[in-house]
Structure 1
């Protein structure tokens, strides 16, 4: 059944003006808020792009162990992010703001540097190197969660409507793209071909400073968009009571997923999407080196994957005002499948085909990031005012889903490498890979992500809230237009 006719539209929220529905918020504060995403873009990109390759082709860690070293810290995130979300909600209930937790997350940069600062005695032992990276990955992820969870709660906390939330997040997506582009393009250039730990360390220091600077700017933007208010008495009482800790956080995960079906469907679809995009990031260095025979092409394809979002995010936003977010998201998912399969041609037709296919993936990537993130506040808002009081819990579940996908993608690719018989190497070593390894590198980078994204599309088609929310958002604007017609300009 067509989503637009599956249910009657929900009534518009009372007391909300057309300007609020459209996202009429101060642009300078919105820009400062969005700039915080530049640092986040570096962190979500560089470990996903280089850590697996760093472990297998610089530290000599076997693919199965390298995949495990990246998976375990992300599994910890399944508990960590909802717990941080609960802390964020209690902080807002007590103080009227989430800024203290957000500010604590600005300590991410040192932990990010430590990921690649593997001491020589540790680097000489693959098992120890894997433990070092996994341990610092847990620490860095905890600090990232402290920043990301309250930061992404901002659009839900704001008094804006359906299109307004997309507008806020479209600003964020453009700047996030800059961060992803900076990390994805500069990191391979600074790290070279993985010939030494020292090169990776220089890369981490440069991008760590970049990350910290923009995180601090983002804190100021959140402060401007959501000035601290005096929390209500009931909010302070709720914050002081109830169970806390990881067990309570997991109970919240179960509760929000059980109660909110649109959020549950959106989360499952995004888990598959996040797994797909992070698998592509992890497999890119292997694909350019072994399938294309062009190790330096990692930066080119990474730029082709990310740069289109700078231009297409505003276009996606405009199209979504006419088509709705759901239809645009389904289109992006379907086109991503086609682009991934096109990469299977490898270097047979020259470098033009991989570049063009990667550009298609990049256009889709903009929509795959913009629409799910802007639909999360829709699911929370439409669930009722009681659910908006635990926005942090929803955001924690969402970011945990993203983290789990960020782990599952590299892990699935490392599993493909293991099945193909891929051989790890230390920095400076030359290893000839078997035909089976080359097949695994190619199929793992093309067919596997196409299958995962097809699964995401199938789940996303069951999401029904978007048609209702978009109709609701049009009601105040239509009323305002009728008033202007009746009373003159």
Structure 2
């Protein structure tokens, strides 16, 4: 984007592949946290725990509201750690407790249904979101910390995007498979425990990778202590505000799509098992097209490439809204088109953030900028499922427990399709 135009001639350090892969691996744990709750948690609440759609939406939304304050505060603490200790490692290691919260999220005590079950999930979501911020903020501050150039920062984030997509794809496929078609409390709990182990291993590898990267591209000392003045300065950055507003809309839309996948497969296509197929169609293309988006960013600029990704996503969503009458092959192709766009939507904004930080005068406030950015991402992750839950609630969707099947009104079936598409 224009903010980064002056950064194209940054330091010529080329990051080694090994530390790059180590750094990127850390995003697998974060990908599991963002993907699996976004994909299954709303369905888990309404169709297993018998939580009404409006309350289920609130249980997912309200914990994320706290992120608006938590993430910038974590960003401030992140900058303090960098100024006083010369690194952000302590926060990273503390954030490695996130898998415990993930496992607890799906381990709802037996007998809890309705509002009490929603309260449990909301409480575990709050704890998990805080731990997620504690890991994610210093993790994403790394590209701005390193003394590397404009294109090398994009390369670093491209490595992250490919590995992140592998993690999202694996967890997006494994989670529904581990839950199975029966979708019982026990199967959700088993899924949570198994994926939590993978999260922990990936996040520890990421912490080691960051340490190695900081040795290769040495980070200068900082005297910046963050705080409210730094936050005000960040929010006054016009280019950063524009990027944040754009990404909020994109994050909300992509998480709405994820939340709608299980409903679309179960009610529109009549086969819950197709959740895995749709998730694969959505995520697999990113493994192939991320290098294409990287090349497009270098050739045309990150901003133009991002606009192309957004337009592609909008076009694919219109086809999906047609529903089962379009035929399964065409729908899978349309979802794959959404996945191609998703790769650009994930890569390019994240590659722009360190450019904006550098354009603002250096790396001192990278944690504060990143805290605001991750708060935006978390807000979109909450607004998407909440918006879909509102569609269900307004249409009269009937919640149920795992062992009960209830007929849905025609308006609810329409809402499932249209909420998943152009909404």
Q: Which TM-score tier does this pair reach, normalised by the shorter chain?
A: over 0.9
Cα displacement (A) at 1:227: 3.5
Contact 1:37–1:214 (Cα < 8 Å) also in 2: yes
Taking the aligned partners of 1:283 and 1:8, their CA distance within structure 2 comes to 36
Q: Alpha-carbon deviations, 1:439-468, whole Å to 9, x = none?
A: 1111111121xxxxxxxxxxxxxxxxxxxx
Cα displacement (A) at 1:10: 4.2
Cα distance change on mapping 1:95 and 1:301 into 2, 3 Å: same
Cα distance change on mapping 1:134 and 1:230 into 2, 3 Å: same
Taking the aligned partners of 1:210 and 1:279, their CA distance within structure 2 comes to 25
Residue matched to 1:35 = 25
Q: Which runs of 5+ in 2 are unaligned?
A: none
Equivalent residues in 2 for 1:109-128 (5 A)? Answer: 109-121=99-111, 123=112, 125-128=113-116
Residue matched to 1:379 = 356
2:15 to 25, 29, 45: 25
Q: TM-score, normalised by structure 2?
A: 0.96
Residue matched to 1:299 = 276
Residue matched to 2:345 = 368
Residue matched to 1:410 = 385
Q: Alpha-carbon deviations, 1:224-276, whole Å to 9, x = none?
A: 011498985x72xx54xx8x6xxx4xx65443121x11110000000000000
Q: Which runs of 5+ in 1 are unaligned?
A: 449-489
2:287 to 310, 329, 342: 310
Do structure 1's residue 56 and structure 2's residue 46 form an aligned pair?
Answer: yes
Taking the aligned partners of 2:377 and 2:5, their CA distance within structure 1 comes to 30
Do structure 1's residue 392 and structure 2's residue 367 form an aligned pair?
Answer: yes
Q: Alpha-carbon deviations, 1:34-65, whole Å to 9, x = none?
A: 11111111111000000000000000000000
Do structure 1's residue 290 and structure 2's residue 267 form an aligned pair?
Answer: yes
Cα distance change on mapping 1:422 and 1:92 into 2, 3 Å: same
Contact 1:54–1:194 (Cα < 8 Å) also in 2: no
1:204 to 169, 192, 198: 192
Cα displacement (A) at 1:315: 1.6
Taking the aligned partners of 1:341 and 1:10, their CA distance within structure 2 comes to 38
Q: TM-score, normalised by structure 1?
A: 0.83
Do structure 1's residue 257 and structure 2's residue 235 form an aligned pair?
Answer: yes
Tell me the SS of whatever aligns to 1:61: coil
1:171 to 152, 159, 170: 159
Contact 1:58–1:194 (Cα < 8 Å) also in 2: no
Superposed structure 1 runs of 4+ greater than 2 Å apart: 7-13, 227-232, 251-255
Contact 1:184–1:299 (Cα < 8 Å) also in 2: yes
Do structure 1's residue 66 and structure 2's residue 43 form an aligned pair?
Answer: no
Q: Alpha-carbon deviations, 1:193-215, whole Å to 9, x = none?
A: 35311000110111100100010
Taking the aligned partners of 2:106 and 2:82, their CA distance within structure 1 comes to 35
Taking the aligned partners of 2:269 and 2:230, their CA distance within structure 1 comes to 46
1:161 to 134, 149, 155: 149
Residue matched to 1:451 = none
Residue matched to 2:415 = 440
2:179 to 177, 188, 191: 191
Residue matched to 1:353 = 330
Taking the aligned partners of 1:252 and 1:141, their CA distance within structure 2 comes to 23
Contact 1:335–1:361 (Cα < 8 Å) also in 2: yes
Contact 2:293–2:305 (Cα < 8 Å) also in 1: yes
Taking the aligned partners of 2:182 and 2:70, their CA distance within structure 1 comes to 31
Contact 2:282–2:335 (Cα < 8 Å) also in 1: yes
Structure with the greater alpha carbon radius of gyration? 1
Aligned residues: 422
Contact 2:7–2:149 (Cα < 8 Å) also in 1: no
2:65 to 75, 93, 105: 75
Tell me the SS of whatever aligns to 2:202: helix
Residue matched to 1:321 = 298
Residue matched to 2:244 = 267
Residue matched to 2:203 = 215
Residue matched to 2:212 = 224
Cα displacement (A) at 1:323: 1.1
C-alpha RMSD of matched pairs (Å): 1.9
Contact 1:33–1:217 (Cα < 8 Å) also in 2: yes
Cα displacement (A) at 1:8: 12
Tell me the SS of whatever aligns to 1:65: helix
Taking the aligned partners of 1:347 and 1:445, their CA distance within structure 2 comes to 12
